[in-house]
Amino acid sequence: MIYREAGRFHATYEEDQRIFPIRLDRVAIAGILAVAFIAIPFAGNDYWFSAILIPFLILSLAALGLNILTGYAGQLSLGSAGFMAVGAFAAFNLMLRVPGMPLLAAFFLAGLVTAVVGLFFGLPSLRIKGFYLAVTTLAAQFFIEWALTKFPWFSNRNPSGVISAQKMVIFGYVFSSPVSRYLLTLSIVTILAVAAKNLVRSRIGRAWMAVRDMDIAAEVIGIPMLRTKLLAFAVSSFYCGIAGALWAFAYLGSVEPQAFDLTRSFQILFMIIIGGMGSVLGAFLGAGFITLLPILLNVGAHTLFSGRISQSLLSNLELMLFGALIILFLALEPYGLARLWQIGKEKLRLWPFPH
Amino acid sequence: MNRSAGIARNAALIGLAVLAAGLFAPAAAPGQEQFIPMASYRVGPYAAGGSGTFGGFIDYLDMLNRRDGGINGVKLTWEECETEYKNDRGVECYERLKGKGPTGASMFNFVSTGITYAVIERATTDKIPIVSIGYGRADASDGRVFPYVFPLVTNYWSQNTAKIKFIGMKSGGMDKLKGKKIVNLYHGSAYGKETIPVLDLQAKKYGFILTHIEVPAPGNEQESQWLQIRQAKPDWVILRGWGVMNPVALKTAAKVGFPRDHIVGVWWSGAEEDVIPAGDAAKGFIAAGFHPSGTNFPVLKDIQKHVYSGGHKGNLEDVSRVGSIYYNRGVIHGILNTEAIRTAQAKFGKKSLTGEQIRWGLENLNIDEKRLKEIGAVGLLQPIKLSCTDHEGGGAVKFQQWDGKKWNLITDWIKSDQSIVRPLIEESAAGYAKEKGITPRDCSKE
């Protein structure tokens, strides 16, 4: 009933090729963006901006990057956090060493630097597949962390290897308040998410999916393996690099290479597994689940049980509950939260007359 | 729709409502209270350190509330938040707790170098002091550049000079250090790398041969590093470990046959939790400490009397941990935090104070022998006096040796070598100030 497609006719090619062919979807997306850009900046407080929304958006972006590589192109990667680190350190060094470097240009170039690094570590994907490829990307993760720690040049010779991000200034405006940093992050994430959505439904995206589903068949119908796979690595790394730069500049303000360790890579991988492989929406849902749920559990446990149960027990219970919820959601829907949403949409179409 | 799904949905809705209440509810603001945020960690690889330290910290505050009714009638309150020793969770806790209580957070203690680094700028903007007792950013000891950061008692660099002094003492004089081989085995993190420059400087000064070997975090695999050490045949190994890295280092050292009484650990290697898992391999291991273990101090007796008796339960599940190294470190956290509040109260009045006022209290903190006696912490803590330029205050270290059952002190307070440390701190702080465009305060005007 609500999600009916019947009766909507597309009269032009433009209408037919829209990102969201169903009007309700368009209204919903416009509504969400309006809330995110207009309502939240007025309603939110510093805590929400700088502790919840900014990290959520940044990790969504990283998950989106990995989803392009793993969910769409079918190349398993454990190096996402390493690529984030490259982005963060590249942006820092660009701002530091190039006089007059504009911030957004530094972000973009940091993304490109990461893309080049990703391209390099993507080379083995031409020969290796699946779990074996995961191991080579694991090497990327360790190599990047090692290199950034080993060579003090990357951190401008800070004794602890920690970089302090420069001030964020765009056209003379200093992005220092939490709400301004939130809006900057949101704008970048929105632009990149729309770009990703378009990319995956273009010729390139279809080529990625063909490679994912069966690479030999894809090669037989004329999809160039080298270019397609490496492009997936480059684009994915670009997204992770921008996410890393935002992590350093818009979120923490200072990072060390260890902030992007293997745990973070796994975290991003779990986001797309729980959120849904091969889905832009899934990246956001998964990031929400993995980053926000532990905080919600911590806040909830404190509100409910503070003072009555010992803190150590409470902290461990939160972790156990979080694990149980992951298992529960995966058991209910192995294809992730995005698939749940899809099922929900199909149900809505039939509502109120399910059969 | 079936029944159970309906119940589940209702339960979920109630749960969400409760969570929303927790996230949005403003903190209650009854009169004279001083709120101290507790960004603790009780799970993960470093849980032993977190639960012990925060247990002692909270028990001390609890004891003050029960024995004296708080500080000069101002009741102490606190709320915990789980950081899991992760920087992003720590920042979340900082943002969550900074505005609680009638006047906001008094000061933050994260017991994590990484989180301390991550919040320095935020805290300076929010005017909330960051106290890092025996960890954190060493160059923050320069209070002119870091007005809101207080690496109290002894920072890593100071401690490190005391370690070299100790090794010199053991070798029969600082001039005997020439030509000696020392390996610095460090945890691969910001914390671990922090002492490399100060060691390099001392190697140049005293002429010992220094090798840095990194152990990738968390450090549960060290075969290759210890084989490397065995090949190098050093006279001493400085163990800059943390968490699981410590027992593994001692066990692996035993396996390759390196004498444990020639390994000198940092104080994050010198707790019971660091050596007991290594069993006999830990016997003879020496660690630096800025405080001893044991319950033989009046302040700990008071905690046992007021917090752990009469049917009342303290913060620790396992009462036998009272008096352990981590626990006593927590008590020291409690003492220094509350003494800063007391100092600030003397100037601003006996009421709830803001972070900015407590910053003054920290900067003018002066705990002499007499005050230590009143607190009941003689021998537990060294006298400490801060100033606008010096945010460290103490700087002396005691060395202790593990005999298989307990830590025994083997030296008295060994003063650190500020002639090495202070120029490094000022240079590093000046570099930070330049990078960030900070104009250092003029301390003569304060």
pLDDT digits (tens, 9 = 90+) for B296-334: 899 888 888 888 887 777 888 788 888 888 899 999 999
Cβ contact, residue pair B436, A164, below 8 Å: yes
Q: Are A68 and A279 in contact (CB under 8 A)?
A: no
The Cα of A236 is separated from the nearest Cα of chain B by a number of Å equal to 23
- Region of residue A227 (left: phi > 0; alpha: psi -120 to 50; beta: else): alpha
Nearest to B18 among A304, A312, A316 (CB): A304
Tell me how far apart the alpha carbons of residues A226 and B378 are, in angstroms, rounded to a whole number: 71
pLDDT at res. B9:
54
Closest-approach residue (CA) in chain A for B23: A299
Tell me how far apart the alpha carbons of residues B64 and B70 are, in angstroms, rounded to a whole number: 5
In this predicted structure, the answer to whether residue B353 has a pLDDT above a threshold of 50 is yes
DSSP B38-76: EEE--SSTTHHHHHHHHHHHHHHHHHHHHHHSSBTTBEE
Tell me how far apart the alpha carbons of residues B267 and B397 are, in angstroms, rounded to a whole number: 10
pLDDT at res. B1:
39
Q: Which two tokens stand for residue B239?
A: 């163990």
* pLDDT tens, residue by residue, A56-73: 999 999 999 999 999 999
Closest-approach residue (CA) in chain B for A314: B42
Q: In angstroms, how far is the first alpha carbon of chain B from the final one?
A: 71
In degrees and rounded to multiples of 5, residue B335 shows phi and psi of -60, -50
- At residue B410, the 3 state secondary structure works out as coil
Place of tokens 């001039």: B175
Tell me how far apart the alpha carbons of residues B417 and B161 are, in angstroms, rounded to a whole number: 6
Residue B422: which residues within 8 A CB-CB, separation 6 or more?
Answer: none
Q: To the nearest whole number, what is the mean pLDDT of chain B?
A: 84
- At residue A282, the 3 state secondary structure works out as helix
Q: Does B120 touch chain A (CB under 8 A)?
A: yes
Q: What is the mean pLDDT of residues A36-44?
A: 89
Q: What is the mean pLDDT of residues A172-185?
A: 90
* pLDDT tens, residue by residue, B227-264: 888 888 898 999 998 888 888 889 898 888 888 888 98
The Cα of B67 is separated from the nearest Cα of chain A by a number of Å equal to 20
Q: Which two tokens stand for residue B176?
A: 């005997």
DSSP element (H, E) containing A69: none
Tell me how far apart the alpha carbons of residues B377 and A292 are, in angstroms, rounded to a whole number: 42
With the C-alpha atoms ordered B218, B223, B225, B229, is the resulting torsion angle positive or negative?
positive
B354-385: string of b/e by CB count within 10 Å (b at 16+)?
Answer: bbbbbbbbbbbbebeeebbeebebbebbbbbe
pLDDT band at B21 (very low <50, low <70, confident <90, very high): very low
Q: Does B23 touch chain A (CB under 8 A)?
A: yes
- For residue B33, what are the β-bridge partners? B75
If contacts are CB pairs under 8 Å, which of residues 49-78 in chain A contact chain B? 50-52, 55
- For residue B407, what are the β-bridge partners? B402
In this predicted structure, the answer to whether residue B52 has a pLDDT above a threshold of 60 is yes
Cβ contact, residue pair A318, B91, below 8 Å: no
Q: Which chain B positions have a beta carbon within 8 Å of A254's beta carbon?
A: 117-118, 120-121
The Cα of B200 is separated from the nearest Cα of chain A by a number of Å equal to 11
Q: Which chain A positions have a beta carbon within 8 Å of B437's beta carbon?
A: 167
pLDDT at res. B273:
83
Q: To the nearest whole number, what is the mean pLDDT of chain A?
A: 88
Q: Are B135 and B115 in contact (CB under 8 A)?
A: no
Q: What is the mean pLDDT of residues A266-286?
A: 91
Cβ contact, residue pair B317, A298, below 8 Å: no
Q: Are B250 and B275 in contact (CB under 8 A)?
A: yes
* pLDDT tens, residue by residue, B286-304: 988 888 888 889 988 888 8
Cis peptide before A159 (omega within 30 of 0): no
Cis peptide before A294 (omega within 30 of 0): no
- At residue A230, the 3 state secondary structure works out as helix
In this predicted structure, the answer to whether residue B141 has a pLDDT above a threshold of 90 is no
Percent of chain A residues topping a pLDDT of 90: 46
The Cα of B155 is separated from the nearest Cα of chain A by a number of Å equal to 14
Cβ contact, residue pair A162, B89, below 8 Å: no
**CA distance to B103, B106, B116, B152, per residue, from B109 (Å):** 17, 10, 8, 11
- For residue B131, what are the β-bridge partners? B150
Nearest to A47 among B40, B95, B137 (CB): B95
- Strand ranges in chain A using DSSP code E only, listed in sequence order: 163-164, 169-170, 173-174, 254-255
Closest-approach residue (CA) in chain B for A256: B190
Tell me how far apart the alpha carbons of residues A53 and A291 are, in angstroms, rounded to a whole number: 10
Cβ contact, residue pair B189, A258, below 8 Å: yes
Q: What is the mean pLDDT of residues A164-192?
A: 90
Q: What is the mean pLDDT of residues A326-340?
A: 87
pLDDT band at B26 (very low <50, low <70, confident <90, very high): very low
Pairing of strands A163-164, A254-255: antiparallel
Tell me how far apart the alpha carbons of residues B74 and B22 are, in angstroms, rounded to a whole number: 25
Q: Which chain A positions have a beta carbon within 8 Å of B214's beta carbon?
A: 149
Q: Which two tokens stand for residue B413?
A: 């307070």
This model's pTM is above 0.90: no
Pairing of strands B149-150, B286-289: unpaired
Three-class SS string for A137-167? HHHHHHHHHHHHHHCHHHHCCCCCCCEECCC
In this predicted structure, the answer to whether residue B28 has a pLDDT above a threshold of 70 is no
Q: Are B143 and B124 in contact (CB under 8 A)?
A: no
- For residue B74, what are the β-bridge partners? B71
Cβ contact, residue pair A47, B42, below 8 Å: no
What's the alpha-carbon Rg for chain B, to the nearest Å? 23
If contacts are CB pairs under 8 Å, which of residues 190-249 in chain A contact chain B? none
Nearest to B117 among A52, A162, A302 (CB): A162
Mutate to test the interface with B, among A93, A156, A160 (most CBs of B within 10 A): A160
pLDDT at res. A313:
81
The Cα of B423 is separated from the nearest Cα of chain A by a number of Å equal to 15
In this predicted structure, the answer to whether residue A163 has a pLDDT above a threshold of 90 is no
Nearest to B299 by CA among B370, B381, B395, B364: B381
Nearest to A298 among B82, B95, B99 (CB): B82
Place of tokens 């793993």: A70
pLDDT at res. A33:
92
Cβ contact, residue pair B80, A304, below 8 Å: no
Q: Are B105 and B355 in contact (CB under 8 A)?
A: yes
* pLDDT tens, residue by residue, B59-115: 999 898 888 888 888 889 998 888 888 888 888 899 888 888 888 888 999 988 888
pLDDT at res. B179:
86
Cβ contact, residue pair A312, B432, below 8 Å: no
